[in-house]
Structure 1
Amino acid sequence: MSELKNTFNALRELKSGSKSGKYYSLAALEEAGHGNISKLPVSIRIVLESVLRNCGNAGITEIDVERLASWNAKQPALEEIPFVVSRIVLQDFTGVPLLVDLAAMRDAVQEVGSDPGLIEPLVPVDLVVDHSVQVDRAGTASAFEKNLKIEFKRNRERYEFLKWGQQAFETFSVVPPAIGIVHQVNLEHLARVVFEKELNGETVFYPDTLVGTDSHTTMINGLGIVGWGVGGIEAEAGMLGQPIAFQTPEVIGVCLEGTLAEGVTATDLTLRITELLREQKVVGKFVEFYGSGAEALTLADRATIANMAPEYGATMGFFPVDEKSLDYLRATGRTEEQIDLVRDYYTAQGLFGIPKKGDIEYTQSLDLDLSSIVPSVAGPKRPQDRIDVPRLKNTFQQLLEKSVSDGGYGIAPEHFERTATVDASSDSDRWRDEGGALVATETLPSITHGSVLIAAITSCTNTSNPSVMIAAGLVAKKAVERGLKVDSTVKCSLAPGSRVVTDYLNETGLTSYLDTLGFNLVGYGCTTCIGNSGPLDASVEEAIASGELVTASVLSGNRNFEARVHGSIKANFLMSPPLVVAYALAGNVNINLDEEPLGQDSDGKDVYLRDLWPTHEEIQDNILKGLKPEMFRSKYAEVESANPEWSAIQSSTGTVYGWDEHSTYIQRPPFFENFGMAPNTIEPIKDMRPLAILGDSVTTDHISPAGAFKPETPAGKYLAGQGVEAKDFNSYGSRRGNDRVMTRGTFANVRIKNRMADGKEGGFTKFQPEGEIMPIYDACAKYREQSTPLIVFGGVDYGMGSSRDWAAKGTSLLGVRAVVAKSFERIHRSNLIGMGVMPLCFKGEASVDTLGLDGTETFSLSDFDDNIQPGQEVTLEIKRADGSTEQVPLELRIDTSIEIEYYRNGGILPYVLRNLLK
């Protein structure tokens, strides 16, 4: 919005306390005959306000406004919405490569003789450093300080680069490490709910909207703010003034009624909603919650549900602004003037309050009775696979025996009781601190199938929800008072989403009990849930391997995909923080917590979960006792100077970045090599060789893992060749500023199953036509020498999971020209197009299996040309090894006309750069 325009005569006056200004009235638009706007979902109306306000700028036209104002609930028109957001939020794993791209774009602008300052974000951009801390140390009072020290030593080069970005771009700010998780910092500090901007001498009020480079950006939906996760490349386009283009969505209304039963947590509700909405196939749709049950939920509970939108597949999980939103703003230290503006603006727009049944027209409406929710966990490989707590034992035993091809572990019944002894660790720093002394024994207890080896209160989903964090502390308190202990083989950790959590746990006196059980503070960041669980003791790893054991992690996170938490742990279960404490005490997931004791107390009596579980009244009493608005005010008063280690970091200065060719963290990416002003011509793709034939639920973790990697991998060999020792490899996530590491790490997950690798698990393929099995990166290097284009095949929900732009960047740099799947997850489909890779879907019942593909074939898209249209049918020509051919119809999953332009330009960034230079 570069100037104030009175499009559709919709500008109206708003006065709030001492403030006055203009706003773009949706009621005025309806009064002028442009749709039944007051019946539209609240989320659609907020997007409509952006389209209306920006009409006449950024290529947005009156037709765009009229189309969205006439949104048809039952059959939304398949049209493109150009959405200009108010701000953008990043985290460091995705923010560093984004900043690398911006630096490379400035180079490209300078090289064509223009001002590199053209590359400057047009909206506020906040980056929160929260993904770099790893749980190297746990179970000791000094764990936090030691992990922080290791983090800065390990990531200093990345942090220097972020400091350069902070001085190079006027609208780019950084929240330092050890402040909190991006989504919680977003809720507690960054969120404005209503923006104010001066234009033509007038103040304009408008909704706070955003996109973020983390899929769980949707947590902000709990506060009534429209926003969702996108890939870094799409965020870059958005910050440079390009509207976020998306197809007109269906909106699924979820009516929540009733109340949660005693002993049921917000996590349990969220896992049930995730299961329900995955079954309803809401991928790419908006979900909006309404009804008396939704109205009664606390803001923290709403945010927990909204956070998991990527897990249920939705673009958003939205709760409109209401009195609970204002209560939260007050509780987190916002001023009464800010709160009054939020109430006045949303009331004036007719957007204030949680809708009731019949208020809104939704594409589809679902009902959920909150009283039906029961304590739950989810896993062992996907967040949507919910399990009632009493059923976990039977489910785990069934999974042990079930074949690997059917999603199990293929353990013969006679091996169910197999155990392995864990020898005493020489690295005693990683074990329990009891009374100031580190416990050391000759041998630690043996482990078996289902042994809990990681118990982590971690991730953005739960670790800042006071109800479940206080509950975890109360379970720990009662356990300690009964004399229960956590086995020393269990690596426990506590990584809150906000420093305020530490304040209220201290205020309630619960910290000491968590510490006693080993849940010491390890850092403020996204630790175990992103794969930064740190190493297990070497002797534990040896015991897992020697016993061929299926061991477990329990975490209060939102992701449990294969090999994400830890490469050696095969079963990973999501659950509430108090249940994490409970399963840590039990030491095994192969237990029915309703019927079997967690352990014995100091008198030898059995202690059951029901003996430790706090009542709702106990939890609320402690929240009232411990949580105070001044905690938020003090913690966020001086964010930029809150971390002395960060303040001490020095960086280079200047408009363009001085690349270091010897750096193993930051390298100029190849995306703008040979850049020219003319876009490409779309042409047929001939004789592609398959790189991978994959199954269902292939995640972005499978495609581009974030965690640790070993010396024998292509990435490990590369770093070793650069003189980097294995102990300093860090993680794939931390190396995303270096394409040379990341391309070698693409399709390198140790659990990925490529049907072309003859059963060999991990990042391997069969180089054709010779048939030699080798690492995927090595095969791609050979294909590149032959100028052979590549294709990848997948099943249902290809690319589900994190908004990981490197899953698309790596795919592109490996030479993959097309990906064919049964269906795509929203963000990854967009990322592929953003990198010039073609997403295509099988039609009807066709699949890899029905076509009998084995990797010996070649594939062509011969009718593919410069006149392609969104969603059109294209023909895949298959040439088999015996010379026979077959033609298969596919659906082009380029959904909008602007995506055609992105693809024609070789991706979003070249498209934006050419437009800026014109």
Structure 2
Amino acid sequence: MTAIDSFKTQRQLTVNGTSYHYFSLPALEEAGLKGISRLPYSMKILLENLLRHEDNLTVKQDDIEALRAWLDTKKSDREIAYRPARVLMQDFTGVPAVVDLGAMRDAIKKMGGNPDQINPLSPVDLVIDHSIQVDAFGTKNAIDINARMEMERNSERYSFLRWGQTAFDNFRVVPPDTGICHQVNLEFLAKTVWHDEKDGHKVAYPDTLVGTDSHTTMVNGLGVLGWGVGGIEAEAAMLGQPISMLIPEVIGVRLTGRLRDGVTATDLVLTLTQMLRQKGVVGKFVEYFGTGLADLPVADRATIANMAPEYGATCGFFPIDQATLDYLRLTGRDEQTIALAEAYAKAQGLWYGKDSAEPQFTDVLDLDLASVEPSLAGPKRPQDRVELSQLKQAFEKLLMDANRAGEKDKTFKTDDNLDLQHGNVVIAAITSCTNTSNPSVLMAAGLVAKKAVEKGLNRKPWVKTSLAPGSQVVTRYLEVSGLQPYLNRLGFDLVGYGCTTCIGNSGPLPDPIAKTVSEQDLLVSAVLSGNRNFEGRIHPQVKANWLASPPLVVIFALAGTTSIDLTKEPIGHDKQGQPVYLKDIWPSNAEVAEEVAKVSSKMFSEQYADVFAGNQDWQSMAVPAGETYTWQSESTYIQHPPFFMDMSKEPRPIQSIEGARLLALLGDSITTDHISPAGSIKADSPAGKYLQSKGVQVKDFNSYGARRGNHEVMMRGTFANIRIRNEMVPGIEGGMTKHYPSQEVMSIYDAAMRYKREQVPLVIVAGKEYGTGSSRDWAAKGPKLQGVCAVIAESFERIHRSNLIGMGILPLQFQGEMTRKTLKLNGTEIISIVGIDGTMKPNAEIKAIIQREDGSKTEIALLSRIDTQNEIEYYRHGGILQYVLRNMLKNSQ
């Protein structure tokens, strides 16, 4: 074993006759690091990681000691190098990562290196789950139609991934129409305790990962420490680079009591999201403990862990306990994996039991599970929880804010003679990893459907319904329970296995409804069991999006409106014309538990037995061969990216940014959905015009996410969100800006290209929480290709800040009370950022000079948000992948 192990902590553990080496935390405490047994469980995992990778270069003895010192203040400004065991990807973020690896192979070959050096060094699993769209719905063959259309639209991408599967070592692909990456991870890929061979020994260690999707946190419900990173950072981790991170603060959440009848895990997570957002946990770990864990199964824990990005935390961790082992057994893990997880956790002090001492946290919050109320969240942020009883009032306020209150009861006729109103639910979707991994809420949805059908209720005709589970196991248990036919009767037929509506793949609304919504500018609703509901994300025509549990999704499909108080008003009327209320068709916890008991280990074992094989279409696909990829110039899906073009063997010196123009002046909470291309491609957008110039018909545009492997599409779609508001062009919604000095209004892309021809560098100026939301690498890649050199904001989301640096973009933060508003910026300014050079230090103060239209100048001091020395190196090289590539080239010579 190659670790230095200066504390002499290596021990052996024998499990069912098999011997494993491991680095012992109790032995570390005996060696002098007193008190580490009281560290939060998530911090113990970080500590073990440092122990195992101590090399006197990236991990030194005092890094290990810094974890013990954390106990003194419960916070730290210490940077550590963390190496997760594996990497998880989905296809939207995975395709550009594999494209980059392919481009790196070309680049290293061009510079005289060996292309075979470019391989994942850590295990990588890519699950194709983001490409299926809800075109067909409400029919028994909806999944067949949608799956066929998915293959037709994405054959180029899938062929490319098949090449990656054969060209790269340590890289597996779960084919389309299998499940959602986080649910597949929870149910199959994760082991809780990992082991591999090193120096002739089996070495056991905690299962850890990073993923190219922010909801990677879901697996924390299984005692596996994981979180989302940008594709750029994940690629570096795949290539053996440690993830540079500050030792986090850890907020403990003490759960007590148990959920009341009629209250779901979804209600609980929406409550926690609101509570933790109010607390402020951005960049921190959250760890759950307390007596309430005893009645909280792993499926509920995973629901809570999943939404860590929504409450702002790096992760939401649950320690290993008996429920963890029960879930591993239920989902078909082999007995040795389960036995090792138990033995290792107990040997390391990672086991949580009723007699376990309470860890020491930075701060502790309390929640009595019995206090949780049925809830939704919306209309555009997941932390904006609304109690079910207050929804009608919340929607009426929305109408008032939109100056449409006078139309509250007005009806609008569709071409097929339906009466639409503001507040009508036009999308009701059981979707996303958050809830479709949880048998209790899915069985509850099935029971609601059964009771509704028996009462003679049906969905309203204007509601587009869909059921998109996170794995094929869900279909199995809904069928075995006999509940799926009732869901089908209400239009919740299976539409596919994937993220669908939650990521904007909701498909088109029926033409008559779409036409009326558009012509009358109706404020209609979507109700979905997802985790994100940002503006423009779910569907471009739907302005109010509400997160809710699967059974509530069914209820709202029946009610057909969000302008309703379901605690008092009837959902509809039965066969005798009598009103039917929520309480009449809502199942008891006992009824739900009876159905959940039908879920068996055999279901998981059978469904995952051949998970990497794929269907006949996948297996018969033509696959390119070779160590480097043969790029097709005519492809509109996969193109050779320019990030490594003309790359020198040594980095060029860092230089000041002189005479930059503002490309956009933005407000607070600019999400990666606002920045990165996502959802549908408009025909008259720069990306739409590009595709049409290549002979692609509008009906074949597919989504931005599906075309992430083509930088030409993606750079044209950057900052093109229909809801983005650039303060340089007040009163205009969408990706527009004003070019200076011409003062012409044009698309942000067109302006960026014009500035590029004029050799003018660009900056973005924004408010608080810049880059919040999903970890999208194109939210950094796109601005880079548009010529953005720096982003100046009041604060940054954690992943996006690191992604900017990973692409060679400088993140700068206003200090104190200074903002774009106090500086009275309007977009006419010329900004120079001076004094940045090879002597830069982390978190340095950087001088910027603002030259205004009248010629006056203002000098300000900004804080560099390059937080660590590793990040300085990445920035110096022009990006993290360039840094990795140059190091690989040096090592090969």
Match of 2:90 in 1: 91
Q: Per the alignment, in what secondary structure is the counterpart of residue 7 of structure 2?
A: helix
CA offsets, 1:490-511, max 9 Å, x none? Answer: 1000000111111111111100
Match of 2:253 in 1: 254
Correspondences of 1:516-665 after superposition (within 5 Å) = 516-624=489-597, 626-665=598-637
Match of 1:218 in 2: 217
Cα distance in 1 for residues equivalent to 2:17 and 2:622: 42
8 Å contact kept, 1:418–1:547 = no
Q: Per the alignment, in what secondary structure is the counterpart of residue 622 of structure 1?
A: helix
Kindly state the Cα deviation for residue 57 of structure 1 after the two structures are TM-superposed: 7.6
CA offsets, 1:295-331, max 9 Å, x none? Answer: 3210000000000000001000000111000000010
Is 2:317 aligned against 1:318?
yes
Q: Per the alignment, in what secondary structure is the counterpart of residue 818 of structure 1?
A: strand
Is 2:729 aligned against 1:737?
no
Using the size of structure 1 for normalisation, the TM-score is 0.96
CA offsets, 1:148-206, max 9 Å, x none? Answer: 00000110000000000000011101001111100000011101211222222211111
8 Å contact kept, 2:179–2:471 = yes
Is 2:709 aligned against 1:750?
no
Cα distance in 1 for residues equivalent to 2:731 and 2:293: 47
Is 2:697 aligned against 1:698?
no
8 Å contact kept, 1:255–1:357 = no
CA offsets, 1:441-481, max 9 Å, x none? Answer: xx2x2211111000000000001201100000011111110
Match of 1:407 in 2: none
Cα distance in 1 for residues equivalent to 2:795 and 2:575: 55
Kindly state the Cα deviation for residue 3 of structure 1 after the two structures are TM-superposed: 3.3
Moved more, 696-705 or 515-524: 696-705
CA offsets, 1:388-410, max 9 Å, x none? Answer: 001011111112112xxxxxxx2
Match of 2:328 in 1: 329
Kindly state the Cα deviation for residue 21 of structure 1 after the two structures are TM-superposed: 2.1
Residue among 807, 820, 824 paired with 1:835? 807
Match of 1:68 in 2: 67
CA offsets, 1:884-915, max 9 Å, x none? Answer: 22122222111111111111111100011111
8 Å contact kept, 1:126–1:175 = yes
**Distance change (3 Å), C-alpha of 1:880 and 1:35:** farther
Kindly state the Cα deviation for residue 75 of structure 1 after the two structures are TM-superposed: 4.6
Match of 2:887 in 1: 915
**Distance change (3 Å), C-alpha of 1:869 and 1:462:** same
Moved more, 351-360 or 801-810: 351-360
Residue among 430, 444, 447 paired with 1:471? 444
Q: Per the alignment, in what secondary structure is the counterpart of residue 156 of structure 1?
A: helix
Cα distance in 1 for residues equivalent to 2:817 and 2:433: 38
Correspondences of 1:97-116 after superposition (within 5 Å) = 97-116=96-115
8 Å contact kept, 1:703–1:746 = yes
Percent of residue pairs bearing the same amino acid type: 55
Kindly state the Cα deviation for residue 357 of structure 1 after the two structures are TM-superposed: 8.6
8 Å contact kept, 1:216–1:307 = yes
Match of 1:491 in 2: 464
8 Å contact kept, 1:109–1:116 = yes
8 Å contact kept, 2:174–2:614 = no
Cα distance in 2 for residues equivalent to 1:412 and 1:188: 46
Q: Per the alignment, in what secondary structure is the counterpart of residue 800 of structure 1?
A: coil
Cα distance in 2 for residues equivalent to 1:370 and 1:272: 10
Q: Per the alignment, in what secondary structure is the counterpart of residue 435 of structure 2?
A: coil
Match of 1:39 in 2: 38
Cα distance in 2 for residues equivalent to 1:356 and 1:751: 52
8 Å contact kept, 1:486–1:517 = yes
Residue among 875, 881, 885 paired with 1:903? 875
8 Å contact kept, 1:73–1:363 = no
Aligned AA for 1:218?
T
Aligned AA for 2:409?
E
8 Å contact kept, 2:431–2:501 = yes
Correspondences of 1:161-200 after superposition (within 5 Å) = 161-200=160-199
Cα distance in 2 for residues equivalent to 1:290 and 1:203: 31
Match of 1:807 in 2: 779
Cα distance in 1 for residues equivalent to 2:626 and 2:26: 48
8 Å contact kept, 2:15–2:340 = yes
8 Å contact kept, 1:752–1:761 = yes
Q: Per the alignment, in what secondary structure is the counterpart of residue 558 of structure 1?
A: coil
Cα distance in 1 for residues equivalent to 2:696 and 2:84: 41
Kindly state the Cα deviation for residue 356 of structure 1 after the two structures are TM-superposed: 7.2
Match of 1:429 in 2: none
Cα distance in 1 for residues equivalent to 2:355 and 2:852: 58
Kindly state the Cα deviation for residue 4 of structure 1 after the two structures are TM-superposed: 5.7
Moved more, 189-198 or 708-717: 189-198
Kindly state the Cα deviation for residue 419 of structure 1 after the two structures are TM-superposed: 2.8
Aligned AA for 1:701?
D
Kindly state the Cα deviation for residue 866 of structure 1 after the two structures are TM-superposed: 2.2
Aligned AA for 1:416?
K
Correspondences of 1:778-857 after superposition (within 5 Å) = 778-857=750-829
Is 2:682 aligned against 1:683?
no
Aligned AA for 1:689?
R
CA offsets, 1:67-94, max 9 Å, x none? Answer: 2243236352212110111111100000
Cα distance in 2 for residues equivalent to 1:889 and 1:281: 26
Kindly state the Cα deviation for residue 413 of structure 1 after the two structures are TM-superposed: 2.7
Match of 1:669 in 2: 641
8 Å contact kept, 1:254–1:367 = yes
Residue among 851, 855, 861 paired with 1:879? 851
Using the size of structure 2 for normalisation, the TM-score is 0.98
Match of 2:55 in 1: 56
8 Å contact kept, 1:132–1:734 = yes
Cα distance in 2 for residues equivalent to 1:357 and 1:61: 31
Match of 1:389 in 2: 388
Q: Gaps (5+ residues) in structure 2?
A: none
Cα distance in 1 for residues equivalent to 2:652 and 2:390: 56
Aligned AA for 2:651?
P
Q: Gaps (5+ residues) in structure 1?
A: 403-409, 425-442
**Distance change (3 Å), C-alpha of 1:419 and 1:867:** farther
CA offsets, 1:421-441, max 9 Å, x none? Answer: 1213xxxxxxxxxxxxxxxxx
Match of 2:476 in 1: 503
**Distance change (3 Å), C-alpha of 1:777 and 1:324:** same
Kindly state the Cα deviation for residue 58 of structure 1 after the two structures are TM-superposed: 6.9
8 Å contact kept, 2:459–2:558 = yes
Aligned AA for 1:808?
A
Superposition CA RMSD, Å: 1.3
Moved more, 808-817 or 51-60: 51-60
Cα distance in 1 for residues equivalent to 2:238 and 2:820: 39
CA offsets, 1:363-418, max 9 Å, x none? Answer: 1111111111000000111100000001011111112112xxxxxxx224323333
**Distance change (3 Å), C-alpha of 1:810 and 1:58:** farther
Cα distance in 2 for residues equivalent to 1:165 and 1:238: 17
Kindly state the Cα deviation for residue 6 of structure 1 after the two structures are TM-superposed: 4.1
8 Å contact kept, 1:58–1:241 = no
Kindly state the Cα deviation for residue 822 of structure 1 after the two structures are TM-superposed: 1.4
Moved more, 673-682 or 302-311: 673-682
8 Å contact kept, 1:641–1:647 = yes
**Distance change (3 Å), C-alpha of 1:73 and 1:743:** farther
8 Å contact kept, 2:219–2:226 = yes
CA offsets, 1:52-77, max 9 Å, x none? Answer: 10111873222322222432363522
Aligned AA for 1:865?
D
Correspondences of 1:264-303 after superposition (within 5 Å) = 264-303=263-302
